[in-house]
């Protein structure tokens, strides 16, 4: 199955198991998980959801870096070529998966 279709379907794959809502199953590449976890932790320090998402996606990396450095306590994580390539390939379904992971997490596909 096409990776973009799999990603899109996963975004809507919430399930109820034993009476509890479970997030979708999807295995993001390690380099994407690393980026999401790095910037996601700043939400605990007061960074907004939008700020975290913008830093992860970094479509305008210089602007995102400036905004990040205004209030974050850590160093900017530059966007690597493989991360940029993944975002370029995955498009909107990739953005949606990042959003779901930030808000609810993702379960492994097993």
**Domain-embedded: residue 110:** no
Name the domain count of the chain: 1
Using CA atoms, how far apart are residues 9 and 81, in angstroms rounded to an integer? 26
Q: Six-digit token pair at 8? A: 């899109």
Please give the pLDDT value at position 5: 83
What is the extent of the structural domain holding 98? 3-103
Q: Six-digit token pair at 92? A: 């909107």
- DSSP-based three-state secondary structure for 71: helix
**Domain-embedded: residue 11:** yes
Please give the pLDDT value at position 1: 57
Residues in the chain: 110
Q: Mean pLDDT per 10-residue run, the chain (110 residues)?
A: 82 94 94 96 92 96 94 92 95 94 90
pTM, two decimal places: 0.89
């Amino acid at each position: 199955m096409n990776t973009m279709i799999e990603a899109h379907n996963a975004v809507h794959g919430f399930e109820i198991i034993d009476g509890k809502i479970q997030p979708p199953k999807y295995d993001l590449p390690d380099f994407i998980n690393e980026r999401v976890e790095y910037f996601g932790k700043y939400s605990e320090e007061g960074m907004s959801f939008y700020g975290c998402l913008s830093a992860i996606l970094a479509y305008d990396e210089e602007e995102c870096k400036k905004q990040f450095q205004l209030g974050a306590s850590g160093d900017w994580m530059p966007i690597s070529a493989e991360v940029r390539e993944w975002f370029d390939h995955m498009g909107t379904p990739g953005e949606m998966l990042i959003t779901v992971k930030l808000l609810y997490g993702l379960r492994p596909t097993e």
